[in-house]
Amino acid sequence: MFEIIKIDGKLFRHEVLCTKEFFLPMKRKNQIHWAAMSEAEIILYAKAYCQHHEIKRQRHLANGKNKHDGLYNILYKSKWMRQVFIVDETKPVRLGEDDFIIPLDGGGRVSWKSMSRQEKIDYIIAYCKEFNITNSTQLQKGPNKNPGMHSRLLDDKLMTDIFDRERLETLCGEPFLIPLCAIDKVAWEKMSEDEIIEYAKAYCKHHKIKGSGALSNHKTKRNTGMYKALMDRTLLDRVFSRPKTKSYPVNGTTYTFQIRKNRQIDWKLVTKKRLEKFGRDYCIEYGIKTRTQLKNKNAGLCNQKRRQSA
């Protein structure tokens, strides 16, 4: 037990531990002013506190019956644990039939930075096998959870080295097993062109997406990851059927033109005579009398007429 007393107008925590008397400076009634104490004073107090309460391991100082959060934190942050406790540098761990020697940091935690990538993978796989952990959610939140190990999976991008991760998705009554990367996004690089095309066609049919614009920009139906994967592999034309011609019914005549990939008329294939006739009928159809009006209505046609008349 301890009591808060005042000496010369200053607050102190008065405590007797193993017949030794301590007066610890206080910031407030419930907070020890560690910065006002020297290293030797803190270590002397820590040893007496642990001896008095029979605390033999640092984890008991952090989580035990007589835990002391403030003392634990100052010892850990200042790396003074080894001066109070005997801290092991390694820990033997047996998982199934495999034995591991796990390096520890100054706080008794697993020192992941002291392990190679393969050592981390082997240790985590053995741990997951031992406790029948089959996915990252169980490792993070399950009955045998290990949040520190889960964080290491994300930080070192080890997720796909540990778990074969897939998402079952049903589109138009057809099941698809989609490979995932560590952050639960589709691992497009693991899919072949045919697999991407088949999945994209089913996705667009299921969500009634009829063009690449909706796939990339629609507020609720868009899938930018799929759009980018199709763009990167130049597969958009194999998912969306794009017309090769475009028709304009104007002034009683229907004009059909070849179009480019950007769906604009390929004016290079239009003769000067046909362009003049189409331009004349187009202006009659829409009541266009000036070049400015034509430019506002159909800039492509206006520019092409200007080029050919130059």
pLDDT at 195 (0 to 100): 92
Measured CA to CA, the distance from residue 256 to residue 250 in angstroms comes to 11
Q: Is the pLDDT of residue 11 over 60?
A: yes
For residues 17-24, give the mean pLDDT.
90
CB-based contacts of 236: which residues, under 8 Å, 6+ apart? Answer: 212, 230
Query: Within 10 Å of residue 32's Cβ, how many Cβ atoms?
Result: 21
This prediction has a pTM of 0.39
pLDDT at 176 (0 to 100): 87
Percent of the chain with pLDDT over 90: 28
Measured CA to CA, the distance from residue 172 to residue 174 in angstroms comes to 6
**Pairwise pLDDT comparison (225 vs 107), residue with the higher score:** 225
Measured CA to CA, the distance from residue 14 to residue 20 in angstroms comes to 11
> Domains of the chain: which residue ranges?
2-84, 90-162, 166-239, 245-309
pLDDT tens digits, 229-281: 998 998 888 898 777 788 889 999 999 988 876 778 888 888 889 999 999 99
Q: Is the pLDDT of residue 2 over 80?
A: yes
pLDDT at 183 (0 to 100): 55
Q: Is the pLDDT of residue 161 over 90?
A: no
Measured CA to CA, the distance from residue 15 to residue 23 in angstroms comes to 7
pLDDT at 41 (0 to 100): 94
The secondary structure of 187-202 as a DSSP string is -GGGS-HHHHHHHHHH
Q: Is the pLDDT of residue 185 over 80?
A: no
pLDDT tens digits, 202-227: 999 999 988 888 888 877 778 888 99
Average pLDDT, the chain: 86
